[in-house]
Chain A
Amino acid sequence: MRIAVTGGKGGTGKSTVATALAVELGKRHEVVLADADVECPDDHLILSIERKGFADVKLPLPAFDFEKCIKCGKCASTCRYNAIVQVKGKYPIFDPGLCNGCGACMLVCPAGAISRGQRKVGEIFRGEGHGISLFSGEMEVGYEEASPVVNALKEKIPKSEFEIIDTAAGTHCNVISALRGCDYAVAVTEPTPFGAHDLELILRLAAVLGVPAGVVVNRSDLGETGEVNKIAEKHGAEVIAEIPYSKEMLESYSRGEPVAGKGILGIAEMLEAMLK
Protein backbone atom coordinates (compact mmCIF):
# COMPACT_ATOMS: atom_id res chain seq x y z
CA MET A 1 0.00 0.00 0.00
CA ARG A 2 1.36 3.39 -0.97
CA ILE A 3 0.75 6.18 1.55
CA ALA A 4 1.72 9.81 1.12
CA VAL A 5 2.45 11.98 4.13
CA THR A 6 1.82 15.56 3.13
CA GLY A 7 0.15 18.70 4.47
CA GLY A 8 0.76 21.83 2.45
CA LYS A 9 2.15 24.00 5.19
CA GLY A 10 5.86 23.59 5.91
CA GLY A 11 6.98 22.70 9.42
CA THR A 12 3.73 21.04 10.51
CA GLY A 13 5.47 17.75 11.16
CA LYS A 14 5.22 15.79 7.89
CA SER A 15 8.67 14.27 8.14
CA THR A 16 8.33 13.73 11.89
CA VAL A 17 5.08 11.80 11.32
CA ALA A 18 6.36 10.01 8.18
CA THR A 19 9.53 8.75 9.87
CA ALA A 20 7.79 7.81 13.13
CA LEU A 21 5.01 6.03 11.24
CA ALA A 22 7.46 4.14 9.03
CA VAL A 23 9.44 2.90 12.03
CA GLU A 24 6.29 1.86 13.93
CA LEU A 25 4.89 -0.06 10.94
CA GLY A 26 8.35 -1.47 10.33
CA LYS A 27 8.10 -3.43 13.59
CA ARG A 28 5.45 -5.69 12.06
CA HIS A 29 5.68 -5.17 8.30
CA GLU A 30 8.03 -4.67 5.37
CA VAL A 31 8.37 -0.89 4.99
CA VAL A 32 10.04 1.42 2.49
CA LEU A 33 10.20 5.12 3.30
CA ALA A 34 10.72 7.38 0.27
CA ASP A 35 11.86 10.92 1.05
CA ALA A 36 10.30 12.80 -1.83
CA ASP A 37 11.17 16.25 -0.53
CA VAL A 38 13.91 16.23 -3.13
CA GLU A 39 14.86 19.87 -2.67
CA CYS A 40 15.72 19.41 1.01
CA PRO A 41 15.50 15.74 2.09
CA ASP A 42 15.84 15.36 5.86
CA ASP A 43 14.49 11.90 6.74
CA HIS A 44 17.98 10.37 6.86
CA LEU A 45 18.94 12.96 9.49
CA ILE A 46 15.77 12.47 11.56
CA LEU A 47 16.46 8.72 11.66
CA SER A 48 20.27 8.93 11.75
CA ILE A 49 20.50 6.61 8.75
CA GLU A 50 23.66 6.72 6.66
CA ARG A 51 22.76 7.08 2.98
CA LYS A 52 24.76 5.57 0.14
CA GLY A 53 24.43 6.49 -3.55
CA PHE A 54 21.94 4.17 -5.27
CA ALA A 55 21.12 5.63 -8.69
CA ASP A 56 21.56 8.82 -10.68
CA VAL A 57 18.49 10.53 -12.10
CA LYS A 58 19.14 11.57 -15.68
CA LEU A 59 17.18 13.51 -18.26
CA PRO A 60 17.74 13.39 -22.00
CA LEU A 61 19.94 16.11 -23.44
CA PRO A 62 20.39 16.47 -27.20
CA ALA A 63 23.86 15.79 -28.60
CA PHE A 64 24.51 17.39 -32.01
CA ASP A 65 26.56 15.72 -34.74
CA PHE A 66 27.44 18.64 -36.99
CA GLU A 67 28.87 16.34 -39.67
CA LYS A 68 25.37 15.04 -40.32
CA CYS A 69 23.63 18.40 -39.85
CA ILE A 70 22.13 19.88 -43.03
CA LYS A 71 21.40 23.31 -41.44
CA CYS A 72 17.69 23.07 -42.14
CA GLY A 73 16.74 24.81 -38.86
CA LYS A 74 13.90 22.40 -37.98
CA CYS A 75 15.33 21.76 -34.50
CA ALA A 76 15.41 25.48 -33.73
CA SER A 77 11.88 26.16 -34.95
CA THR A 78 10.53 23.14 -33.06
CA CYS A 79 12.11 23.84 -29.68
CA ARG A 80 9.46 25.32 -27.37
CA TYR A 81 12.01 26.38 -24.77
CA ASN A 82 14.10 28.54 -27.12
CA ALA A 83 17.10 26.39 -26.29
CA ILE A 84 18.12 26.07 -29.94
CA VAL A 85 18.61 28.91 -32.41
CA GLN A 86 19.79 28.73 -35.98
CA VAL A 87 20.88 31.42 -38.41
CA LYS A 88 20.43 30.62 -42.13
CA GLY A 89 23.47 28.88 -43.50
CA LYS A 90 25.01 28.23 -40.10
CA TYR A 91 24.95 25.39 -37.60
CA PRO A 92 22.38 25.49 -34.80
CA ILE A 93 23.43 26.86 -31.42
CA PHE A 94 22.20 25.00 -28.32
CA ASP A 95 21.98 26.14 -24.70
CA PRO A 96 21.57 23.18 -22.28
CA GLY A 97 20.47 25.56 -19.50
CA LEU A 98 17.16 26.14 -21.28
CA CYS A 99 16.63 22.51 -22.29
CA ASN A 100 13.67 20.70 -20.74
CA GLY A 101 14.60 17.23 -22.04
CA CYS A 102 11.41 16.83 -24.09
CA GLY A 103 13.28 15.28 -27.04
CA ALA A 104 11.24 17.05 -29.76
CA CYS A 105 14.37 18.21 -31.61
CA MET A 106 15.62 14.62 -31.87
CA LEU A 107 12.33 13.57 -33.44
CA VAL A 108 12.13 16.29 -36.09
CA CYS A 109 15.73 16.29 -37.33
CA PRO A 110 15.57 14.92 -40.89
CA ALA A 111 19.28 14.08 -40.95
CA GLY A 112 19.46 12.07 -37.73
CA ALA A 113 22.04 14.56 -36.49
CA ILE A 114 20.70 14.82 -32.94
CA SER A 115 21.16 11.90 -30.61
CA ARG A 116 19.99 11.23 -27.10
CA GLY A 117 22.67 12.30 -24.66
CA GLN A 118 22.01 12.55 -20.93
CA ARG A 119 22.37 14.95 -18.09
CA LYS A 120 22.27 14.25 -14.35
CA VAL A 121 19.46 16.18 -12.61
CA GLY A 122 19.44 14.40 -9.27
CA GLU A 123 20.42 11.38 -7.26
CA ILE A 124 18.71 8.63 -5.25
CA PHE A 125 20.33 7.43 -2.05
CA ARG A 126 19.57 4.34 -0.03
CA GLY A 127 20.01 3.42 3.61
CA GLU A 128 18.75 0.94 6.21
CA GLY A 129 17.97 1.49 9.87
CA HIS A 130 15.33 1.08 12.58
CA GLY A 131 13.90 -1.88 10.68
CA ILE A 132 13.06 0.03 7.49
CA SER A 133 14.57 0.82 4.09
CA LEU A 134 15.00 4.51 3.32
CA PHE A 135 15.24 5.85 -0.24
CA SER A 136 16.13 9.52 -0.34
CA GLY A 137 15.80 11.67 -3.46
CA GLU A 138 17.91 14.76 -3.94
CA MET A 139 17.86 17.25 -6.83
CA GLU A 140 20.99 18.82 -8.36
CA VAL A 141 21.29 22.28 -6.81
CA GLY A 142 20.30 24.98 -9.28
CA TYR A 143 18.22 22.70 -11.49
CA GLU A 144 14.66 23.99 -11.75
CA GLU A 145 12.45 20.90 -12.07
CA ALA A 146 11.89 18.69 -9.01
CA SER A 147 9.26 16.41 -10.57
CA PRO A 148 11.62 14.24 -12.65
CA VAL A 149 13.56 13.38 -9.48
CA VAL A 150 10.38 12.66 -7.50
CA ASN A 151 9.07 10.42 -10.29
CA ALA A 152 12.36 8.57 -10.62
CA LEU A 153 12.39 7.97 -6.84
CA LYS A 154 8.88 6.47 -6.91
CA GLU A 155 9.84 4.23 -9.82
CA LYS A 156 13.00 2.96 -8.16
CA ILE A 157 11.66 1.98 -4.73
CA PRO A 158 11.08 -1.78 -4.40
CA LYS A 159 7.53 -3.00 -3.97
CA SER A 160 6.78 -3.33 -0.27
CA GLU A 161 3.87 -3.96 2.11
CA PHE A 162 3.95 -0.29 3.05
CA GLU A 163 5.51 2.40 0.88
CA ILE A 164 5.50 5.69 2.76
CA ILE A 165 6.09 8.74 0.58
CA ASP A 166 7.21 11.79 2.55
CA THR A 167 6.29 14.72 0.29
CA ALA A 168 7.61 18.27 0.22
CA ALA A 169 5.63 21.19 1.61
CA GLY A 170 3.28 23.06 -0.70
CA THR A 171 0.93 22.00 -3.46
CA HIS A 172 3.23 22.47 -6.47
CA CYS A 173 4.36 19.95 -9.12
CA ASN A 174 6.79 18.09 -6.88
CA VAL A 175 3.94 17.39 -4.41
CA ILE A 176 1.56 16.52 -7.25
CA SER A 177 4.11 14.04 -8.60
CA ALA A 178 4.55 12.54 -5.14
CA LEU A 179 0.80 12.23 -4.44
CA ARG A 180 -0.19 10.79 -7.80
CA GLY A 181 -1.10 7.12 -7.64
CA CYS A 182 -1.00 6.87 -3.85
CA ASP A 183 -3.68 4.80 -2.12
CA TYR A 184 -4.06 7.24 0.76
CA ALA A 185 -2.76 10.62 1.89
CA VAL A 186 -2.11 11.59 5.50
CA ALA A 187 -2.40 15.39 5.67
CA VAL A 188 -0.51 16.77 8.65
CA THR A 189 -1.71 20.14 9.87
CA GLU A 190 -1.64 22.32 12.97
CA PRO A 191 -4.38 24.24 14.80
CA THR A 192 -3.50 27.68 13.47
CA PRO A 193 -5.01 29.88 10.72
CA PHE A 194 -2.00 29.06 8.51
CA GLY A 195 -2.42 25.36 9.09
CA ALA A 196 -6.13 25.62 8.29
CA HIS A 197 -5.61 27.60 5.10
CA ASP A 198 -2.99 25.22 3.73
CA LEU A 199 -4.99 22.17 4.80
CA GLU A 200 -7.85 23.40 2.60
CA LEU A 201 -5.43 23.57 -0.34
CA ILE A 202 -3.86 20.14 0.17
CA LEU A 203 -7.25 18.44 0.65
CA ARG A 204 -8.50 20.06 -2.57
CA LEU A 205 -5.40 18.80 -4.36
CA ALA A 206 -5.85 15.27 -3.00
CA ALA A 207 -9.46 15.34 -4.22
CA VAL A 208 -8.40 16.48 -7.69
CA LEU A 209 -5.90 13.62 -7.84
CA GLY A 210 -8.47 11.13 -6.56
CA VAL A 211 -6.45 10.22 -3.47
CA PRO A 212 -8.52 9.63 -0.30
CA ALA A 213 -7.16 11.64 2.60
CA GLY A 214 -7.12 11.72 6.37
CA VAL A 215 -6.00 14.53 8.66
CA VAL A 216 -3.50 14.50 11.51
CA VAL A 217 -3.54 17.54 13.78
CA ASN A 218 -0.03 18.01 15.14
CA ARG A 219 0.68 20.16 18.20
CA SER A 220 -3.06 19.86 18.76
CA ASP A 221 -3.00 21.41 22.22
CA LEU A 222 -1.37 24.64 21.04
CA GLY A 223 -4.40 26.16 19.35
CA GLU A 224 -8.09 25.95 18.48
CA THR A 225 -8.79 22.79 16.51
CA GLY A 226 -12.27 23.90 15.47
CA GLU A 227 -11.21 25.36 12.15
CA VAL A 228 -9.13 22.42 10.93
CA ASN A 229 -11.85 19.98 12.04
CA LYS A 230 -14.39 21.93 9.98
CA ILE A 231 -12.18 21.85 6.91
CA ALA A 232 -11.54 18.13 7.28
CA GLU A 233 -15.27 17.49 7.52
CA LYS A 234 -15.98 19.70 4.52
CA HIS A 235 -13.71 17.52 2.40
CA GLY A 236 -14.92 14.22 3.80
CA ALA A 237 -11.56 13.59 5.45
CA GLU A 238 -11.45 11.83 8.79
CA VAL A 239 -9.32 13.34 11.55
CA ILE A 240 -7.31 10.22 12.25
CA ALA A 241 -5.12 11.53 15.07
CA GLU A 242 -4.44 14.51 17.28
CA ILE A 243 -0.87 14.71 18.48
CA PRO A 244 -0.24 17.07 21.40
CA TYR A 245 2.96 19.08 21.65
CA SER A 246 5.65 17.17 23.43
CA LYS A 247 9.03 18.58 24.38
CA GLU A 248 10.25 15.03 24.82
CA MET A 249 9.36 14.28 21.21
CA LEU A 250 11.19 17.40 20.04
CA GLU A 251 14.34 16.45 21.93
CA SER A 252 14.24 12.93 20.61
CA TYR A 253 13.75 14.20 17.04
CA SER A 254 16.70 16.57 17.39
CA ARG A 255 18.88 13.70 18.54
CA GLY A 256 18.02 11.70 15.43
CA GLU A 257 15.91 9.13 17.28
CA PRO A 258 12.50 7.98 16.08
CA VAL A 259 9.54 8.97 18.24
CA ALA A 260 6.23 7.25 18.82
CA GLY A 261 3.30 8.23 20.97
CA LYS A 262 -0.40 7.36 21.09
CA GLY A 263 -1.07 9.45 17.99
CA ILE A 264 1.42 7.59 15.82
CA LEU A 265 0.23 4.22 17.13
CA GLY A 266 -3.34 5.19 16.25
CA ILE A 267 -2.38 6.10 12.65
CA ALA A 268 -0.40 2.86 12.28
CA GLU A 269 -3.34 0.79 13.54
CA MET A 270 -5.70 2.46 11.10
CA LEU A 271 -3.37 1.85 8.15
CA GLU A 272 -2.80 -1.76 9.13
CA ALA A 273 -6.57 -2.29 9.22
CA MET A 274 -6.78 -0.74 5.72
CA LEU A 275 -4.11 -3.12 4.46
CA LYS A 276 -6.31 -6.08 5.39
Chain B
Amino acid sequence: MKVAVSSAGEGKGSRLSPVFGRCPFFVIVDTESGEEKSVKNTAAGQMGGAGMTAGQLVGNEGANAVVTMAMGPRAFAVLGQLGIEVYEGKEGTVEENLELLNKKMLRKMDEASGPLAPGAGGRPMGPGKQRGGRA
Protein backbone atom coordinates (compact mmCIF):
# COMPACT_ATOMS: atom_id res chain seq x y z
CA MET B 1 0.00 0.00 0.00
CA LYS B 2 1.02 3.62 -0.46
CA VAL B 3 1.50 5.60 2.75
CA ALA B 4 1.78 9.40 2.90
CA VAL B 5 3.60 10.68 5.98
CA SER B 6 3.52 14.34 7.00
CA SER B 7 7.15 15.37 7.17
CA ALA B 8 9.40 18.25 8.23
CA GLY B 9 11.77 17.63 5.33
CA GLU B 10 12.45 15.47 2.29
CA GLY B 11 13.31 11.79 2.60
CA LYS B 12 12.52 9.01 5.08
CA GLY B 13 15.12 10.25 7.55
CA SER B 14 13.20 13.48 8.18
CA ARG B 15 11.25 14.11 11.34
CA LEU B 16 7.52 13.38 11.33
CA SER B 17 5.61 16.68 11.11
CA PRO B 18 3.04 17.11 13.89
CA VAL B 19 0.41 18.63 11.57
CA PHE B 20 -1.25 17.49 8.35
CA GLY B 21 -2.72 20.48 6.54
CA ARG B 22 0.33 22.72 6.76
CA CYS B 23 3.30 20.35 7.04
CA PRO B 24 6.17 21.31 4.70
CA PHE B 25 6.40 17.96 2.88
CA PHE B 26 4.79 14.58 2.44
CA VAL B 27 7.00 11.52 2.11
CA ILE B 28 5.10 8.91 0.11
CA VAL B 29 6.27 5.34 0.35
CA ASP B 30 5.04 2.21 -1.43
CA THR B 31 5.35 -0.44 1.30
CA GLU B 32 5.55 -3.27 -1.23
CA SER B 33 8.07 -1.94 -3.71
CA GLY B 34 9.88 0.31 -1.25
CA GLU B 35 9.61 3.17 -3.76
CA GLU B 36 9.90 6.53 -2.02
CA LYS B 37 8.91 10.03 -3.14
CA SER B 38 8.98 13.41 -1.36
CA VAL B 39 6.39 15.99 -2.34
CA LYS B 40 6.23 19.65 -1.27
CA ASN B 41 2.93 20.44 0.46
CA THR B 42 1.46 23.20 -1.71
CA ALA B 43 -1.36 23.74 0.80
CA ALA B 44 0.99 24.97 3.53
CA GLY B 45 0.91 28.66 2.62
CA GLN B 46 -2.64 29.15 1.38
CA MET B 47 -5.32 31.19 3.15
CA GLY B 48 -7.98 28.91 4.73
CA GLY B 49 -8.87 25.32 4.06
CA ALA B 50 -5.34 23.89 3.92
CA GLY B 51 -6.66 20.55 5.14
CA MET B 52 -8.87 20.29 2.05
CA THR B 53 -6.03 20.85 -0.39
CA ALA B 54 -3.55 18.66 1.49
CA GLY B 55 -6.16 15.88 1.38
CA GLN B 56 -6.49 16.38 -2.38
CA LEU B 57 -2.72 16.24 -2.76
CA VAL B 58 -2.25 12.91 -0.99
CA GLY B 59 -5.31 11.57 -2.81
CA ASN B 60 -3.78 12.47 -6.16
CA GLU B 61 -0.57 10.70 -5.12
CA GLY B 62 -2.63 7.52 -4.75
CA ALA B 63 -2.11 7.18 -1.00
CA ASN B 64 -4.15 4.51 0.82
CA ALA B 65 -3.10 5.67 4.27
CA VAL B 66 -1.76 8.76 6.02
CA VAL B 67 0.46 9.00 9.09
CA THR B 68 0.44 12.31 11.00
CA MET B 69 0.08 13.54 14.56
CA ALA B 70 -2.82 16.01 14.36
CA MET B 71 -5.51 16.60 11.79
CA GLY B 72 -8.43 19.03 11.65
CA PRO B 73 -12.03 18.16 10.77
CA ARG B 74 -11.87 19.33 7.13
CA ALA B 75 -8.88 17.17 6.22
CA PHE B 76 -10.36 14.28 8.16
CA ALA B 77 -13.64 14.53 6.25
CA VAL B 78 -11.89 14.72 2.87
CA LEU B 79 -9.70 11.70 3.57
CA GLY B 80 -12.73 9.83 4.86
CA GLN B 81 -14.59 10.49 1.61
CA LEU B 82 -11.57 9.29 -0.33
CA GLY B 83 -11.35 6.10 1.73
CA ILE B 84 -7.87 6.93 3.03
CA GLU B 85 -7.12 5.71 6.57
CA VAL B 86 -5.41 7.98 9.05
CA TYR B 87 -2.91 6.77 11.66
CA GLU B 88 -1.57 8.70 14.62
CA GLY B 89 2.19 8.88 14.37
CA LYS B 90 4.76 9.25 17.13
CA GLU B 91 7.76 11.55 17.63
CA GLY B 92 10.56 10.33 15.46
CA THR B 93 11.52 9.98 11.83
CA VAL B 94 9.30 9.07 8.91
CA GLU B 95 11.14 5.75 8.63
CA GLU B 96 10.58 4.91 12.31
CA ASN B 97 6.88 5.65 11.94
CA LEU B 98 6.60 3.44 8.86
CA GLU B 99 8.13 0.59 10.85
CA LEU B 100 5.65 1.14 13.68
CA LEU B 101 2.82 1.17 11.14
CA ASN B 102 4.07 -2.08 9.65
CA LYS B 103 4.07 -3.68 13.11
CA LYS B 104 0.50 -2.37 13.60
CA MET B 105 1.65 -0.30 16.55
CA LEU B 106 0.07 2.99 15.42
CA ARG B 107 -3.46 3.90 16.51
CA LYS B 108 -6.00 4.48 13.75
CA MET B 109 -7.71 7.88 14.07
CA ASP B 110 -11.46 7.60 14.12
CA GLU B 111 -12.07 11.33 14.47
CA ALA B 112 -10.28 14.64 13.93
CA SER B 113 -7.80 15.70 16.59
CA GLY B 114 -8.99 19.24 17.07
CA PRO B 115 -11.52 21.96 16.28
CA LEU B 116 -12.05 23.71 12.94
CA ALA B 117 -9.46 26.38 12.12
CA PRO B 118 -10.93 29.66 10.79
CA GLY B 119 -12.05 29.34 7.18
CA ALA B 120 -11.21 31.70 4.38
CA GLY B 121 -14.73 33.12 4.16
CA GLY B 122 -13.59 35.54 1.50
CA ARG B 123 -11.01 37.26 3.68
CA PRO B 124 -7.25 36.57 3.56
CA MET B 125 -6.11 35.03 6.81
CA GLY B 126 -2.68 34.02 8.10
CA PRO B 127 -1.56 30.39 8.44
CA GLY B 128 -4.09 28.35 10.41
CA LYS B 129 -3.64 27.10 13.96
CA GLN B 130 -0.18 25.64 14.41
CA ARG B 131 -1.12 22.66 16.58
CA GLY B 132 1.81 20.89 18.13
CA GLY B 133 4.32 23.62 17.34
CA ARG B 134 5.82 24.63 14.03
CA ALA B 135 6.76 21.73 11.78
Q: Which residues of A contact B (CB under 8 A)?
A: 76, 81-83, 85-88, 90, 93, 95, 97-98, 100, 102, 144-145
Contact = CB atoms under 8 A, between A and B. Distances in A.
A97 B122 CA distance: 11
B52 A85 contact: yes
A86, A87, A100 pick with most chain B CB within 10 angstroms: A87
A87 B84 CA distance: 12
Nearest to A90: B82
B135 interface: no
A82 B46 contact: yes
A95 B49 contact: yes
B121 interface: yes
A60 to B, nearest CB: 13
Leading 8 A-B pairs by shortest Cβ distance? A87-B59, A82-B49, A85-B56, A144-B121, A100-B122, A81-B120, A98-B119, A98-B49
A144 B78 contact: no
Nearest to A101: B122
Nearest to B80: A93
B55 interface: yes
Contacts, number: 68
B40 to A, nearest CB: 17
Contacts of B60: 87-88
Interface of B: 43, 46-50, 52-53, 55-56, 59-60, 74, 77-78, 81-82, 116, 118-123
B122 A144 contact: yes
Given A95-B49, A98-B52, A85 B122 contact: no
A100 B121 contact: yes
Contacts of A144: 118-119, 121-123
Contact of A85 (B47, B48, B78, B118): B78
A93 B49 CA distance: 12
A121 to B, nearest CB: 11
A82 B52 contact: yes
A36 to B, nearest CB: 19
A189 B43 CA distance: 45
Contacts of A76: 56
A95 B122 contact: no
Nearest to A147: B122
Contacts of A93: 52, 55-56, 77-78, 81-82
A83 B116 CA distance: 14
A238 to B, nearest CB: 35
Contacts of B119: 81, 95, 97-98, 144
Contacts of B122: 81, 100, 102, 144-145
Nearest to A80: B120
Contacts of B47: 81-82
B121 A95 contact: no
A82 B48 contact: yes
B82 A95 contact: no
A95 B81 CA distance: 12
Nearest to A88: B60
A249 B119 CA distance: 43
A87 B118 CA distance: 24
Nearest to A83: B49
A90 B48 contact: no
